[in-house]
Amino acid sequence: MANVISDETIEYVGILAKLELSEEDKENAKKDMADMLDYIDKMGELDTDGVEPMSHIFPVRNVMRDDVVTNGDGSADTLKNAPESNDEAFIVPKTVD
C-alpha cells in the first residue's frame, strides 16, 4: 500500500529531528519518506510472530569500572572547539527569562 505522509506528520518529524524545513523541503521530504516507507513495508511480508527482537548480535552486559580520571583536565582544549565560550563555559542563547 502506498504510504502518504501528511503535512502534520512531516511537521512533527521536523520537530523530532530538530530541522527547519522550507515548504519545498517539506514537499520533497514527504515524497522521499513515502517512497522509503513503501520500500521498508516489504518487511511486513515476513512472519515474525514469536521472534525476539535482536538489538545486539552478542550478549551484552553493563561494563563497570571505577570512575578514575585517566586523561587529565581537557576543558581548555575542549572549549577551543566551541562556537562561543568564555574561560570556563560554553555560551548559548538565553534559555530562561
Q: For the chain, what's the residue count? A: 97
Output the nine-digit C-alpha cell for 3.
504510504
Restricted to residues 4-33, the positions that interact with other proteins (CB under 8 A) are 9, 12-14, 16-21, 25, 29, 32-33
d(CA 78, CA 15): 29
Nearer to other proteins, 53 or 69 (CB): 53
Residues 6+ apart with CB under 8 A from 37: 3, 5
Output the nine-digit C-alpha cell for 84.
562561543
Tell whether residue 72 is a contact of other proteins (CB under 8 A): no
The one among 1, 83, 87, 88 contacting other proteins by CB under 8 A: 83
Q: Which residues pair with 63 in a beta bridge?
A: none
The residues of the shown chain that bind other proteins, judged by CB under 8 A, are: 9, 12-14, 16-21, 25, 29, 32-33, 35-37, 39-46, 48, 51-58, 60, 62-63, 65, 71, 74, 77-78, 80-84, 90, 92-95
